[in-house]
Amino acid sequence: MLNRFMQSRLRGLVFLALILVIIPAFLSNSFQYGMVTQIAILAATVVGLNLLVGFAGQISLGHAGFFGLGAYFTGIATGTYGWPSVPALLVGAIMVGIIAWVVGRPILRLKGHYLSMATLAVGFIIAIILNNERALTGGPDGMPVPAFEVFGWELSSFARYSLFGLEIEGFEAWYIFASVILLVAVWFALNLIESPIGRALRSVHGSEVAASVVGVNTAKYKSLVFVISAIYASLMGSLYAHFLGFITPAVASFEFSILFITMVVLGGMGSTFGVILGAAVLTLLPQVLADFQELETVMFGLILMLTMIFMPKGLLPTLTAIVSKRMRKKAGGEA
Amino acid sequence: MLAEFLQYLFTGITIGATYALIALGFTLIYNASHVINFAQGEFLMIGGMATVSLTAMGVPMVLAIVLAIILAGILGIALQRFAIAPAKQADVVTLIIITIGASIFIRGIAQVVWGKEYHVMQNFSSDEPIRVFGAVLNSQSLWVLGVGAVVVVALVLFFTKTLTGKAILATSMNKEAARLVGVRTQMVLMLAFLVSALLGSVAGIVVAPITFTSYDIGIILGLKGFVAAAIGGLGSGVGAVVGGLALGIVEAMAAGYISSDYKDAVAFSMILLVLFFMPRGLFGPKVVERV
């Protein structure tokens, strides 16, 4: 039984890796590479958010706040103070983790819409601070961020590298890097879900009272997963800042928080691979709709509404349900 | 000193009255369906923008206002019938995303019809400001407060004196029981969205001469209304009014005495503080959870 679990978990990961390997065959320029790299980073963020929303059943409408804090910590530490990238990224994540723990303890006692409201407020406060502390953050105009570097080796979209005798463009290198990060993020999430912590979380989602009656320390697990999802957001915010090379407070905005939660819900709450699909769809949709020009926003809203009305469980769970129903019907017909 | 304080107080009460109306809209829909309607702010936008464009076309102000309110009402019913009702089995978060989708959709249409620029609306009566103890009061503020008070009284009468109002209350208390005694709950849900839309558009129209109006004004106003409703305690009418006024006053004082850059931060800190000590807001019902 355990063996089969391991296999199914690995199967998903291998499948994702395969897709990530195949994707470059469809890409022809640096813009498209940039797009999928962005999707990979945002997908890794929502894989973390999904742990909180999909598994522990707690809604966060302020996750961009943590994402933005990570991005700005990296921007300020590497840009203004000349820190190397990796220590900046790690210290930023630890700091965000502590902030999430401190604010998480009191607000996770809240239920339902009050919790959404509180997370929304935390996100807003972070965005307002980033907007107004001009001396530190450059205010609404934003700030430049240096390229990601490890021991003097820089990862830049505009550079060229040779790897094992292979010539690689900088944007291709970023894509490979982001893909590996996404795989690691998914691997960690899948392991967490199948661990005792993950079972405790699902019991909280099912019924918090029942969970606490059978001895699950619900408060502890809820704060733990809140902190983990905030650290995911912070790490990915740091990478996002390095990748874009320029950040504005928009990365911490309410709109961005809404985008994250929408990726989770549209893709399929509680489905790790579903939320990756959600991230891809919501990043690509505006590109596809750009042809509609001024009708772009109308179309976006309409598609979002219709998808959620007709697929309330999200894209991937609905699609897999349809496929497995078909398969079962077919199997039944043959037998 | 006093003049300054009064000035901030007037500003706060005026904007607070608007927040209160928006919060009442949230409360109504929340009570009837437990949905947080993130498209609530768009009703304000539609009210203000439709009035501005109709008067620009030469329609008399009063008629323009009535038409704008009717338009918002139709929109409210449409939202319930075509977006909320078909998804009644959906999760709470899913419903939130649906209303967010609806608000993006409505905003998109407004942007196509009215463009992205700010629109100015005339004051209802004179542009002459009123002076009280050295503070300057925009005459439109009196309209906001007056209309707000009338609306609140009308709502109270509606819920206590009319059969329809009582049906909505009954549904919010226990949907199944209400259906058993013959209340058509689908109709009630539609009514809740209708009244909520009317409230929102009225708020949007009276406040438009002060704040101006544009296609995207609904986002932040809607959010503030949600904050006000949560401060007061979701589902409580008194809470919505108190929460709205408190939020408006705190914001105006923070902008005046601390920093206008941080006025929103003060508002959001206030909600955290309230929820920290009162997890169900100021007047939120003490619900005992059934297990």
Asked whether the predicted pLDDT for residue A258 surpasses 80, the reply is: yes
Longest dimension (CA), chain B: 60
B136-183 per-position pLDDT tens digit: 888 888 889 999 999 999 998 988 888 888 888 888 888 888 888 888
Which pTM does this prediction carry? 0.89
Enumerate the β-bridge partners of residue A154: A149
A305, A307, A313: best to mutate for the B interface, most B CBs within 10 A: A305
Beta carbons of B203 and B42 less than 8 angstroms apart: no
Contacts of A170 (CB under 8 A, 6+ apart): A155, A156, A157, A158, A159, A160, A161
What is the chain B residue with the closest CA to A109? B279
Q: Contact, B168 vs B32, CB < 8 A?
A: yes
**pLDDT of residue A5 exceeding 70:** no
Tell me the β-bridge partners of B213.
Answer: B119
Distance from C-alpha of B111 to C-alpha of A301, rounded to nearest angstrom: 13
Question: Please, what sign has the CA dihedral across residues A181, A187, A191, A192?
Answer: positive
Domains of chain B: 2-277 (1.10.3470)
User: For residue A121, which residues of chain B lie inside 8 Å, CB to CB?
Assistant: 227, 268-269, 271-272
Q: How far apart are CA B183 and CA B259, in angstroms?
A: 51
Kindly state the percentage of chain B with pLDDT values over 70.
98
Q: Is the pLDDT of residue A47 over 90?
A: yes
Calpha distance A330→A225 (Å, rounded): 41
Distance from CA of A293 to the nearest CA of B (A): 10
> Kindly report the CA angle at A34 between A30 and A38, in degrees rounded to 5?
175
- Return the residue of A nearest to B279 by Cα: A110
Contact A298 B105 (CB under 8 A): yes
> Do residues A286 and A300 lie in contact, with contact meaning Cβ atoms separated by under 8 Å?
yes
Distance from CA of A175 to the nearest CA of B (A): 30
Chain A nearest-CA residue for B111:
A294
| Nearest Cα residue to A287 out of A38, A20, A22, A17 | A38
Nearest of A48, A317, A56 to residue A202 by alpha carbon: A56
B180: left (phi over 0), alpha (psi -120 to 50) or beta: alpha
User: Which residues are paired to A128 by β-bridges?
Assistant: none
Condensed to tens digits (0 to 9), the pLDDT of residues B174-196 reads 888 888 888 888 888 899 999 99
Q: Give the nearest partner residue to A308 out of B30, B101, B291, using CB atoms.
A: B101
To the nearest whole angstrom, how far is the Cα of B148 from the nearest Cα of chain A? 25
CB B195, CB B28: distance < 8 Å: yes
Q: What is the pLDDT of residue B168?
A: 84
* DSSP designation for A8: H
Is B92 at the interface with chain A, CB within 8 A? yes
What's the pLDDT at A7?
A: 60
Q: Does A140 touch chain B (CB under 8 A)?
A: no
How many CB atoms lie under 10 A from the CB of residue A330? Answer: 10
Alpha helices in chain B (DSSP H): 2-33, 40-56, 61-78, 92-114, 139-161, 163-173, 175-180, 185-211, 217-232, 237-253, 263-277
Residue B291 has pLDDT above 60, yes or no: no
The pLDDT-based confidence of A105 (bands split at 50, 70, 90) is confident
Rounded to whole angstroms, how far apart are CA atoms A8 and A83?
Answer: 41
Compute the count of residue pairs across chains A and B with CB atoms less than 8 Å apart.
131
Determine phi and psi for B137, rounding to 5 degrees. -115, 120
Q: Read off the pLDDT band of A212 (50, 70, 90).
A: confident
Residues B160-180: b if buried by 16+ CB within 10 A, e if exposed: eeeeebebbbbbbeebeebee
Q: Which residues of B touch A210 (CB under 8 A)?
A: 291
Confidence class for position A182, pLDDT limits 50, 70, 90:
very high
Position B240 scores a pLDDT of: 93
Task: Using pLDDT thresholds of 50, 70 and 90, give the confidence band for residue B287.
Answer: low
State yes or no: pLDDT of A244 exceeds 70: yes
Side chain identity, residue B234: L
What is the tens place of the pLDDT at every residue in B7-45?
999 999 999 999 999 999 999 998 888 888 999 999 999
What is the ipTM score, two decimals?
0.87
Q: What is the DSSP letter of A146?
A: P
Residues from chain B contacting residue A53 (CB–CB below 8 Å) = 93
Q: What percent of chain A has pLDDT over 70?
A: 96
pLDDT by residue (tens digit) across A48-77?
999 999 888 888 999 999 999 999 999 999
Are A123 and A241 in contact, with CB atoms under 8 Å apart? no
pLDDT confidence of residue A335: 45
For strands A148-150 and A153-155, give the pairing. antiparallel
- How far apart CA B195 and CA B192 sit, in angstroms, is 5
Domains, in order of start, for chain A: 2-296 (1.10.3470)
- If phi > 0 it is left, if psi is from -120 to 50 it is alpha, else beta; for residue B81 that is alpha
Would you call A145 exposed, middle or buried from its count of C-beta atoms within 10 A (0-12, 13-18, 19+)?
Answer: buried
Which two three-digit tokens encode residue B166? 């009582």
Q: Which of B27, B19, B17, B22 is nearest to B234 (CA)?
A: B27
The dihedral region occupied by A249, where left means phi > 0, alpha psi between -120 and 50, and beta the remainder, is: alpha
Secondary structure (DSSP) of A192-211: HHHSHHHHHHHHHHH-HHHH
The neighbouring-strand residues paired with B119 are B213
